[in-house]
Structure 1
Amino acid sequence: MLKPQMSDEVATALAQGRPVVALESTIISHGMPWPRNAEVALAVEDVVRSEGAVPATVAVVDGVPCAGLTPVQVERLGRDTNVVKAASRDLGACIAGGLTAGTTVSATMRIAALAGIGVFATGGIGGVHRGDGMDVSADLTELSVTDVLVVCAGVKSILDIPRTIEMLETLRVPVAVFGADAFPAFYSRDSGNVAGERCDDPARIAAIRAANAAVGLGTGMLVANPIPEADALPADEIGATIDAALAEADERGITGKEVTPFLLGRLNAVTEGRALDANIALVKNNARLAARIAVA
């Protein structure tokens, strides 16, 4: 198996058995404008460190899978318009082609697993797309086969959340919700769905993951962490905005990997920056919880 290139900080932490948290990089390459993207990426790393864990931002740089980026590499991902977006299925092509790529949830999970990192924080995961039950994110299938715990703010609001929850159950992926009964909806704390086990303690989540491994489950684990109350957007408002943005994407023929960046851009424009602020707040919140789970 290929071993990712690791920063000295990450390699030392793993060798010493210290807690490490993987972080994805499409938030840098495709999720936010420059220079906010790089600033946020480095700030999220600092959140992980403040909780006693070591951050490992994951990407592919010139065909080399990396776990732990330098500030110069983070800047490159944020500024270079030639950086591609890679899911797990794209990793082989990126490596063979010497490409530089921001990694989605599925690709980050795959590289984290190869590096020996078991906990990963992101914003939201992909899932089943609205109106098309056959359009399912590779994030879900990667969760079904890769033993990495993923902390997120739920499924991205632009997706079909109830069907995504059903798919997670079908794929045998354990789900926990931190500090709440309702499964969150990314920008909002309550999606109207109940899913998985409520856990109020990071140590409880760590114990469930250990038990999953003990019985040989062979899957990842999803931890849904609601956005902080002060940063949440009203569900009705964000829902209407998403519906309008989806209709616009359809009219303009935007499909595949380009849909999510387009929708996030439209949401940020319509909400006058509040969606981006909420996105940043929830990513930091998820990094904090992931670090506490890793420490536990």
Structure 2
Amino acid sequence: MSSSALSRLANLQRHFHHSEKGGSDGMARGLVKISPDVSDALLRGSAVVALESTIISHGMPYPQNLETAKEVEAVVRENGAVPATIAILDGIPCIGLSIEELERIAQLGTRAQKTARRDIAHIVAIKGNGATTVSATMFFASMVGISVFVTGGIGGVHRHGEHTMDISSDLTELGRTPVAVISAGVKSILDIPRTLEYLETQGVCVAAYKTNVFPAFFTETSGCKVGLTVESNRVCAKLRFYYATIKLGLGTGVLIAVPIPKEHATSGSLIESAIQRALKEARDKNITGNAETPFLLARVNELTGGASLASIVITLVILVTLELLHNDGGAESAS
């Protein structure tokens, strides 16, 4: 990556870090452990990319989860930024994990509690171990001044959510935490049209990369249109709508959805068939609430012979790469 492209990503970091030192924010930062690499990068105004840990603990088995986590972090480093995988270990929120800590969260697997914003205080109080979801990762990233968070897919409104009111806290977090979340869209096991409607209600700006159709996590399209398209791969130069969000003090995040490339996309019909079967099995077994999504993801993986899980792994790496690999030519200043 060229020095000027790195400079723009660093400028993005400085531009978004708008909290004043001291006060409640300063006190909160004293309650977390920031790794030396992340701390140094933040002090220097260098590029830092937040990563969640639920995909490690709950997304795939050990040791595949550990190898994937290492590979994703390596992609970030190789492209000139610092990865900040976030988790709670022994009651301490950790922003940036060492190799030993990555291995620990990977080995804990589902014994680490899946931790959304509502669970943070409890896990800290009991000195427990928590793998952060999108909402908790956004919360901690914003707390320490990390403005870019890359993940595979966010949560959303569950199917039949109009009856159950089962809506992921990821969506409300996007409505109140100023972090740019870059993902492959919303998990295709969810109700994507209602999810986009809910994000609109929360005042969240939703954009798609080089398309006007929102992607569906496993596949490149959901059939739902979005109002904003990021046309250039010079992402930092084209995030002026996010700059405006921060400058105006709107207090919301933005969601940038990146479809997985055609050559890596699993057949939509294959995935949809597997999803419908998994949903029926979940209903038959009365699996609901926060236990439903892990069950559905695991079952879809089984029914598709591992294709969906492979797509998640590839997506994570590609998303980070797309965020960090910028074409230098003709980019606008991020200032």
- TM-score band, normalised by the shorter chain? over 0.9
- The one-letter amino acid of 2:302's match is A
1:189-245 CA distance string (max 9 Å, x none): 010011131112203443221111112211001000001211101222211110110
What is the Cα deviation at residue 164 of structure 1?
0.4
Q: Check whether the contact 2:270–2:304 (CA below 8 A) recurs between aligned residues.
A: no
Query: What is the TM-score when the length of structure 1 is the normalising length?
Result: 0.96
- The one-letter amino acid of 1:54's match is V
Residue in structure 1 matched with residue 13 of structure 2 by the alignment: none
Residue in structure 1 matched with residue 223 of structure 2 by the alignment: 192
Distance in 2 between residues matched to 1:67 and 1:230, nearest whole Å: 34
What is the Cα deviation at residue 83 of structure 1?
1.0
Residue in structure 2 matched with residue 10 of structure 1 by the alignment: 38
Misfit runs of 4+, over 6 Å: none
Distance in 2 between residues matched to 1:235 and 1:94, nearest whole Å: 38
Distance in 1 between residues matched to 2:256 and 2:181, nearest whole Å: 6
Matched, 1:268 2:295: no
Q: Of residues 117, 129, 134 in structure 2, which corresponds to 1:100? A: 129
Bigger mean CA offset, 14-23 vs 204-213: 204-213
- The one-letter amino acid of 2:313's match is I
Q: Of residues 141, 157, 168 in structure 2, which corresponds to 1:137? A: 168
Distance in 1 between residues matched to 2:160 and 2:217, nearest whole Å: 19
What is the Cα deviation at residue 25 of structure 1?
0.2
Bigger mean CA offset, 160-169 vs 202-211: 202-211
Residue in structure 1 matched with residue 242 of structure 2 by the alignment: 209
Distance in 1 between residues matched to 2:66 and 2:214, nearest whole Å: 29
Residue in structure 1 matched with residue 317 of structure 2 by the alignment: 284
Residue in structure 2 matched with residue 247 of structure 1 by the alignment: 280
Residue in structure 1 matched with residue 157 of structure 2 by the alignment: 128
Rg larger in structure: 2
What is the CA RMSD across the aligned residues, in angstroms?
1.4
Query: What is the TM-score when the length of structure 2 is the normalising length?
Result: 0.85
Distance in 2 between residues matched to 1:257 and 1:268, nearest whole Å: 18
Residue in structure 2 matched with residue 113 of structure 1 by the alignment: 142
SS, match of residue 175 in structure 2: helix
Which structure 2 residue ranges, 5 or more long, are not aligned? Answer: 1-24, 329-333
Q: State the percentage of identical aligned residues.
A: 47
Distance in 2 between residues matched to 1:246 and 1:147, nearest whole Å: 33
Q: Check whether the contact 1:113–1:148 (CA below 8 A) recurs between aligned residues.
A: yes
Q: Of residues 49, 63, 70 in structure 2, which corresponds to 1:42? A: 70
Number of equivalenced pairs:
295
1:235-284 CA distance string (max 9 Å, x none): 22211110110110111121222111111111111111111111101111
Residue in structure 1 matched with residue 210 of structure 2 by the alignment: 179
SS, match of residue 127 in structure 1: coil
Residues 5/196 of structure 1: CA separation in 2 closer, same or farther (3 Å cut):
farther
Which structure 1 residue ranges, 5 or more long, are not aligned? Answer: none
- The one-letter amino acid of 1:55's match is P
Distance in 2 between residues matched to 1:196 and 1:41, nearest whole Å: 33
- The one-letter amino acid of 2:225's match is V
Distance in 1 between residues matched to 2:196 and 2:118, nearest whole Å: 23
Q: Check whether the contact 1:121–1:286 (CA below 8 A) recurs between aligned residues.
A: yes
1:12-59 CA distance string (max 9 Å, x none): 000000010000000111111100101111111111112221100001
What is the Cα deviation at residue 292 of structure 1?
5.0
- The one-letter amino acid of 1:173's match is V
Distance in 1 between residues matched to 2:139 and 2:299, nearest whole Å: 30
Distance in 1 between residues matched to 2:324 and 2:247, nearest whole Å: 22
What is the Cα deviation at residue 291 of structure 1?
3.4
